[in-house]
Amino acid sequence: MGERRAVITGIGCVTPIGIGAEGLWEGLRKGESAIGAIDRFAPEGLRSRIAAQIRSFDAGDYMDRKRAHRTDRYSQLAIASGRMALQHAGLDPASVDPDRAGVFMGSALGGIAYAEEQCGQFMSGGYRSVSPTLGFSVFGGAASCNMAMEFGFTGPNETNAMSCASGAVAIGRALQAIRRGEADAMLAGGSEAPLSPLSFGAFDLLRAMSTRNEEPAAASRPFDRRRDGFVMGEGAAVLVIEEEGHARARGARVLAELSGFGVSNDAHHMSAPLPCGTQAQRAMRLALSDADMLQEEVGYINAHGSSTPLNDGTESRVIRSVFGSRPVAVSGTKGLYGHPLGASGAIEAAITTLALSRGWLPPTANLEDPDDEAADFDLVTGAGRETSRLGAALSNSYGFGGINATLAFRKR
């Protein structure tokens, strides 16, 4: 078997700034933050009372009412994103050998918000008040399994739970499955629906989230000197990743090549990055090596840019260690849609793919005064940046537990 290459042919997503590939793109170009006061529940007693919520989503628009009734929001976002990705790719699920098509997803918390809701039902009304779907809705694998059933894909299937890097890890694993010949087409991405009192409150207790409650639209500010924490969000994104020959044979439009993946672990701390960043550096270098890509080829990095004091400073040192003084455009896009935990790496992979295919780099929202670590970077700000020479890009994702993941993309 010759070298098998993986290409991205479709994007589907549900995010606070837009739904579907075009909705996401429009939200990026518009450049308005979707972060506001949280109204999904009463946030009394919490330090942080802001979030990036999806305001308009009806699961019934993307699946039949029976499946919508039997799935929680976490799985609904995943299924909807998968359906939109297939439509965007022009790929009819029935036209694919089901054994050669699979689903890899990632999520930090899976169906925990639904479990929390059902726990309240149990406490007030006992066992008979609990939904009979609870047992098969809350486990992490519900996303990829429900997607497999929805689209009839019987190939490789898994949902990883590698915290905020899980969506990127799922996409990297899909690349590996394509290369190894395990599949010809994969749906891969991440889904997260964490906006419930206990889930949200747990992160509030860690003092990891922004308390800029009076100006929520300016709260998430990657690489800015005045950043004070991340803003929790929700969402999902799924890519259609195909073996290049498979895509070409059906006349598919190729958006970009998924060319490399690197992953490592700090083995340092559950919630703080390794200050020297050596393992995050290694993940970036592994992705470059896996892609057979020189660092001189990279014209853009979509940073993890969580807007936390520790993460952004460490990521700045990591990027500098890999790229030295060579100017490379960098932006952190979470200022627009917050941090949807395990879905963030997938959403940012979608953004990076769109940037490559359409020749425009999204800005770092709310960046007014770069901190010392990032002051000499070529940070994309303002209204973004048109570019006709972008040939390769990276996307970084980091998560609790010290997980580091980097994806490498080429323009095709």
Domains detected in the chain: 6-249 (3.40.47.10), 261-410 (3.40.47.10)
Kindly report, residue by residue over 274-330, the tens digit of the pLDDT: 999 999 999 999 999 999 999 999 999 999 999 999 999 999 999 999 999 888 999
| Residue 129 predicted with pLDDT over 70 | yes
Residue 275, φ and ψ in degrees, nearest 5: -55, -35
For residue 325, what pLDDT is reported?
Answer: 85
- Give me the mean pLDDT over the 115-134 stretch: 92
For residue 1, what pLDDT is reported?
Answer: 47
- Give me the mean pLDDT over the 192-214 stretch: 97
Rounded Cα gap, residues 20 and 3, in angstroms: 32
Cα–Cα distances in angstroms (integers) from residue 54 to residues 229, 240, 407, in the given order: 20, 23, 26
* Mean of the per-residue pLDDT values of the chain: 96
Kindly report, residue by residue over 204-235, the tens digit of the pLDDT: 999 999 999 999 999 999 999 999 999 999 99
**Residue 164 known to be catalytic:** yes
Catalytic residue among 13, 119, 145, 164: 164
Rounded Cα gap, residues 162 and 75, in angstroms: 17
Specify which residues 51 forms β-bridges with.
36
The region, left, alpha or beta by phi > 0 then psi within -120 to 50, assigned to residue 104 is beta
Kindly report, residue by residue over 134-156, the tens digit of the pLDDT: 988 899 999 999 999 999 999 99
The percentage of the chain sitting over the pLDDT mark of 90, rounded to a whole number, equals: 95
For residue 2, what pLDDT is reported?
Answer: 66
